[in-house]
């Protein structure tokens, strides 16, 4: 199928499958690593007890060994992949500009729902690092694919709504059972309590409490969150606390907007290179990940015998 022979289903796509799966995997792993780093105190001794059951202690070294067995391989692979992509960028003289990173971040925020797990718990620097690796991979794979400008323009016109990016808000929330609890939470926050710490302690929403209350970036089109949260986010100044918000499920919430990313409309020239990479990737017979480049750049790791 030629790029300009796309079906109408194209218009409803928010992210393309191959690059989306790769970056989602990276971002999800980033969330996991962030959570593990938060759990492990830097100064904990290897013999220190981190828990106790009926007088039987669980030692710090046993805890770390268990986590290494569960996520050690994946986390090391992610680090190797990032190094491999940097080596590929150097070999092929590939550069990723700040403008490209800002474009990808804006498009990704627009394309994901607020509670999409790929963004929760990641700060701007972490997101930028992961997306940079994805752009390098795309550029390496797409560098020899030639597409006519008209095909790129046709795609842009058919999918113009993808490049109308609404204003988005990075939001944290604490969910509680009653208005009284919500007002109590707000008072504690106004008295200087950490939002992240209080979310872990008092929020009844386990999935976001463990991430310090992070809901990720939301915008006026977000449907996965209560409309009162979406509305309140658009009315708050950065770092301002909301009132106790009644939710449709009977709960209450206090939210805080961490930052605001202003909406924008991207022209064809703005996104031409982005579209070229997306369509070039769809010409590939199968999905390719950074692992395919390990041998080229002599990448080795301690799991070599298990690969």
Residue 128, C-beta contacts closer than 8 angstroms, at least 6 positions apart: 101, 105
50 in a structural domain:
no
Domain contains 44 = no
Task: Give the total number of structural domains in the chain.
Answer: 2
Supply the pLDDT for residue 192.
Answer: 95
In a domain, 136, yes or no: yes
CB 275 within 8 A of CB 152: yes
- What is the structure's pLDDT at 2? 39
Distance between CA 215 and CA 203 in Å, rounded?
A: 13
Query: Which residues in the chain show pLDDT less than 70?
Result: 1-46, 112-123, 305-307
Cα(306)–Cα(99) distance, integer angstroms:
40
CATH number of the domain bearing residue 219 = 3.10.50.40
| pLDDT of 157 | 97
Residues 153 and 274 in one domain: yes
Q: Is 213 helix (H, G, I), strand (E, B) or coil?
A: coil
In this prediction, residue 8 carries a pLDDT of 37
Q: What is the DSSP string of 98-116?
A: HHHHHHHHHHHHHHS-TT-
Contact (Cβ atoms closer than 8 angstroms) between residue 147 and residue 280: yes
Q: What digits encode the pLDDT tens for the residues 283-299?
A: 888 788 888 889 899 89
Q: For residue 299, what are the contacts with CB-CB under 8 A and spacing of at least 6?
A: 80, 83, 84, 293
Task: Report pLDDT for 113.
Answer: 57
Per the domain annotation, does 198 fall within a domain? yes
**129 and 203, same domain (yes or no):** no
Same domain, 136 and 278: yes
Looking at residue 101, its pLDDT comes to: 93
- Please give the model's pTM, rounded to 2 decimal places: 0.67
Domain residues for the domain of 139 are 78-164+264-283
Domain identity same for 97 and 222: no
């Amino acid at each position: 199928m030629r790029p300009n022979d796309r079906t109408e289903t194209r218009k409803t796509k928010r992210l393309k499958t191959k690059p989306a799966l790769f970056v989602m995997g990276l971002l999800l792993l980033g969330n996991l690593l962030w959570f593990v780093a938060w759990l492990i105190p830097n100064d904990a001794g290897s013999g220190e007890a981190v828990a106790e059951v009926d007088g039987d202690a669980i030692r710090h070294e046993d805890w770390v060994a268990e986590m290494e067995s569960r996520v050690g391989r994946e986390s090391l692979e992610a680090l190797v992949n990032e190094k491999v992509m940097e080596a590929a960028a150097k070999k092929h003289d590939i550069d990723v500009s700040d403008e490209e990173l800002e474009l990808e971040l804006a498009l990704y925020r627009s394309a994901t729902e607020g509670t999409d797990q790929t963004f929760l718990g990641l700060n701007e620097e972490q997101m930028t690092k992961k997306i940079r690796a994805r752009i390098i991979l795309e550029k390496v794979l797409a560098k020899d694919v030639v597409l006519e400008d008209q095909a790129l323009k046709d795609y842009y016109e058919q999918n113009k709504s993808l490049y109308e990016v609404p204003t988005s808000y990075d939001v944290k929330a604490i969910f509680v059972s009653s208005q009284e609890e919500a007002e109590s939470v707000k008072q504690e926050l106004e008295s200087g309590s950490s939002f992240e710490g209080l979310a872990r302690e008092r929020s009844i929403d386990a999935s976001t409490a463990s991430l310090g209350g992070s809901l990720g970036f939301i915008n006026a089109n977000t449907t996965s969150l209560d409309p009162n949260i979406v509305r309140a986010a658009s009315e708050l100044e950065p770092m301002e606390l909301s009132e106790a918000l009644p939710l449709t499920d009977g709960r209450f919430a206090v939210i805080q907007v961490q930052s605001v990313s202003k909406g924008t409309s991207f022209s064809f020239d703005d996104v031409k290179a982005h579209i070229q990479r997306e369509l070039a990737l769809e010409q590939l017979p199968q999905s390719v990940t950074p692992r395919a480049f390990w041998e080229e750049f002599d990448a080795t790791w301690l799991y070599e015998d298990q690969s």
